[in-house]
């Protein structure tokens, strides 16, 4: 590296540099010094900053943009899912395919060893139904099996796993969860939402901090390959935060991470959860450029694909089904108030419209305890806003973390579950922007794949993966808006818009080189964009 303050450490020349500054300037070249952007401009201007030790990259017309920011991704879950049976479609086109994968895994497993998988979506399977305990019993009689739906809000367990969990015909539904039963009252193996799923999951052997570190390493390697340089990891346990800190101290973090505390942990009473928040030793903003603490993560409902999101109107075909409230309203208020008093912002999962109403009312009430405007409290998912919701968000300064990828990967099940009219208003990105409400993008991986460009594309195209269903053309955003959602807007959620999210002098040199110009290529080609090189602070963390 050059010791000369006028010489760059790295220059990228002869390209198209999407700076994502206020004017969305497109430059030709960028210079980096000490891990930060030194200058952007024409190739002629930037070439003058070269010195003998400067690394020079001729872009040959390729596009550079800021490193991508996934504003809602479960990093540990993503790394762990990479080691499970991949139940997505593809590769699994049917329940029969899933059964074969479980049987193959069981053939290599020890008796009693747990077999885990994730990613199925009944709307994409040939049988067009959810798998059951009896499907799995055929493949693995001697091993407990748990397969989690893509949304993470439902799982199917075989009979061995149900027996370990003590679930029988007489087991009552836990508060906030549901044990699905057939007409005879027998559990089908389907468990909806955490309180029910935890009846089985609590028996799966826990992983320790070393295994958690391995999961983070695996996830970060995968994220760097697709151009992600910053994330918000929502809902970490204290042990997961320790794993992050150990990796930070070892110099192994290759993605800038904002951690969020999981507000309700398995087996907690509400009093224990509140005490954890009240005594937690970090507040919003603590940390450094690589590892920071953002705030408290809560969730109060499920997802539309599994019919557990809490809606204002019933699901299609079932007048009694409005979804599930997974956290009592009074408990939500206690936790939000505790976080607010402690100095934390809150980000709350509220997929259905009724859930969003409840969360915004909790924010309104906690604002009376201690003002929250300017502290960037936010909604996660936020599918069905009303005019009143928009107004409340503006008054309180509430932001939104949305996942455009859901429209693509999960949209077919959404369309079935809420119908054509309502599905056009799910994740109304155009409306949020037009209402002047800051919105950032992400994938919620492992709920949907972590690859950012299908998600970025989905906010522009709004089409589903299998059937190509149009999910409301009036809610499409522009390419520039989609890129901002995946860069500078994510930085805004974490109070870091002055440090990253755009390629401007003084900001972190987090950049990616792309194989195409996503501003001018055919729209559908954006989905298949590949990353050729990823830089974190001017250092290469991935090269194709």
Query: 107 Cβ partners below 8 Å, 6+ apart?
Result: none
Alpha carbons 372 and 370: distance in angstroms, whole number: 6
DSSP string across 302-351: --TTTT-S--SSPPTT-TT------S-HHHHHHHHHHHHHHT-EEEEEE-
Whether the per-residue pLDDT at 1 is higher than 90: the answer is no
Tokens of 123: 């709307």
Q: 511-538: per-residue pLDDT in tens?
A: 999 999 999 999 999 999 999 999 999 9
Question: Model confidence over 76-103: pLDDT tens digits?
Answer: 999 999 999 999 999 999 999 999 999 9
**Of 370, 446, 494, which Cα lies nearest the Cα of 84?**
446
Whether the per-residue pLDDT at 244 is higher than 60: the answer is: yes
Question: For 113-139, what is each residue's pLDDT tens digit?
Answer: 999 999 999 999 999 999 999 999 999
How many CB atoms within 10 Å of residue 53?
12
CATH code matching the domain that covers 77-201, chosen among 3.40.50.2300, 3.10.310.70, 3.40.109.10, 3.90.1150.10: 3.10.310.70
**Dihedral over alpha carbons 118, 440, 296, 198 (to 10 degrees):** -20
* 60: confidence class by pLDDT, cuts 50, 70, 90: very high
Q: Across residues 288-303, what is the average pLDDT?
A: 97
Tell me the CA distances in angstroms from 498 to 71, 259, 298, 381, one per residue in order. 17, 19, 27, 25
Q: Provide the 10 A C-beta neighbour count for residue 66.
A: 32
pLDDT number for residue 2: 53
DSSP H helices in 424-487: 429-434, 452-461, 479-485
Q: Please provide the average confidence, as pLDDT, over all residues in the chain.
A: 96
- Domain extents for the chain? 1-61+502-544, 77-201, 267-501
Give per-residue pLDDT as tens, 200-231: 999 999 889 999 999 999 999 999 999 999 99
Residue 110 has pLDDT above 70, yes or no: yes
Backbone angles phi, psi at 500, to 5 degrees: -160, 180
Q: How far apart are CA 503 and CA 5, in angstroms?
A: 19
Residue with token string 């994938």: 443
- Residue 62 tokens read as 């390729």
The predicted structure's pLDDT at residue 166: 97
What integer pLDDT is reported at residue 324 of this predicted model? 95
Percentage of the residues of the chain whose pLDDT score is greater than 90 = 96
Rounded Cα distance between 168 and 346, Å, is: 37
CA–CA distance, 499 with 67 (Å, rounded to integer): 12
- Per-residue pLDDT for 3 more than 60? no
Average pLDDT over every residue of 409-437: 96
- d(CA 69, CA 442) in angstroms, rounded, equals 7
Which homologous superfamily is 1-61+502-544 in?
A: Urease, subunit C, domain 1 (2.30.40.10)
Could you say which architecture CATH assigns to the domain 267-501?
Answer: Alpha-Beta Barrel (3.20)
Question: Would the pTM count as exceeding 0.85?
Answer: yes
Q: Average pLDDT of 28-39?
A: 98
Cα distances from 447 to residues 92, 152, 303, 525, in angstroms, run: 16, 6, 10, 23
Query: Percent of the chain scored above 70 by pLDDT?
Result: 99
pLDDT tier at 4, thresholds 50, 70, 90: low
For residue 267, pLDDT over 90 is answered with no
Work out the average pLDDT over 164-172.
97
pLDDT at 265: 87
């Amino acid at each position: 590296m050059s010791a000369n303050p006028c010489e760059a450490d790295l220059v990228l020349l002869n390209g198209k540099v999407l700076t994502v500054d206020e004017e969305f300037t497109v430059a030709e070249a960028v210079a980096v010094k000490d891990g930060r952007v030194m200058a952007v401009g024409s190739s002629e201007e930037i070439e003058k900053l070269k010195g003998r030790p400067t690394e020079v990259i001729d872009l040959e017309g390729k596009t550079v943009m800021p490193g991508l920011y996934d504003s809602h991704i479960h990093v540990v879950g993503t790394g762990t899912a990479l080691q499970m049976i991949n139940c997505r479609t593809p590769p699994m086109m049917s329940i029969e395919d899933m059964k074969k994968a479980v049987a193959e895994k069981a053939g290599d497993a020890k008796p009693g060893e747990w077999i885990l998988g994730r990613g199925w979506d009944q709307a994409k399977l040939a049988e067009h139904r959810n798998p059951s305990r009896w499907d799995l019993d055929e493949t693995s009689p001697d091993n407990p099996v748990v397969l989690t739906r893509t949304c993470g809000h439902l799982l199917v367990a075989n009979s061995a796993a149900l027996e370990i969990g003590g679930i029988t015909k007489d087991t009552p539904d836990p508060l906030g969860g549901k044990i699905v039963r057939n007409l005879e009252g027998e559990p089908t193996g389907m468990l909806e939402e955490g309180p029910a799923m935890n009846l089985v999951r609590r028996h799966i052997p826990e992983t320790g901090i070393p295994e958690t570190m391995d999961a983070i390493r695996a996830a970060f390697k995968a994220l760097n390959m697709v151009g992600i340089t910053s994330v918000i990891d929502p809902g970490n346990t204290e042990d997961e935060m320790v794993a992050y800190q150990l990796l930070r101290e070892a110099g192994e973090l290759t993605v800038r991470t904002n951690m969020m505390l999981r507000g309700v942990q398995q087996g907690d009473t509400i009093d224990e959860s509140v005490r954890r928040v009240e005594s937690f030793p970090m507040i919003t903003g603590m940390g450094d450029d690589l590892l920071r603490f953002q705030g408290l993560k809560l969730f109060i409902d499920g997802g539309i694909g599994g019919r557990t999101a809490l809606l204002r109107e019933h699901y299609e075909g079932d007048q009694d089904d409005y979804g599930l409230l997974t956290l009592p309203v009074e408990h939500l208020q206690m936790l939000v108030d505790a976080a607010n008093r402690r100095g934390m912002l809150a980000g709350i999962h509220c997929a259905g419209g009724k859930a969003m109403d409840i969360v915004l009312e909790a924010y309104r009430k906690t604002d009376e305890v201690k003002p929250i405007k300017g502290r960037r409290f936010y909604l996660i998912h936020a599918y069905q806003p009303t005019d009143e919701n928009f107004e409340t968000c503006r008054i309180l300064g509430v932001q939104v973390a949305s996942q455009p990828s859901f429209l693509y990967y999960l949209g077919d099940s959404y369309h079935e579950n809420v119908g054509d009219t309502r599905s056009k208003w799910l994740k109304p990105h155009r409306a949020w922007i037009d209402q002047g409400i800051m919105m950032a993008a992400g994938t919620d991986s492992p709920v949907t794949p972590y690859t950012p460009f299908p998600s970025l594309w989905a906010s522009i195209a709004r089409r589903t993966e299998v059937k190509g269903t149009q999910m409301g053309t009036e809610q499409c955003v522009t390419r520039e808006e989609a890129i901002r959602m995946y860069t500078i807007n994510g930085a805004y959620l974490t109070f870091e818009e002055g440090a990253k999210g755009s390629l401007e002098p003084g900001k972190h040199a987090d950049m990616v080189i792309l194989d195409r110009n996503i501003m001018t290529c055919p729209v559908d080609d954006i989905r298949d964009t590949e990353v050729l090189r990823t830089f974190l602070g001017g250092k290469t963390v991935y090269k194709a």
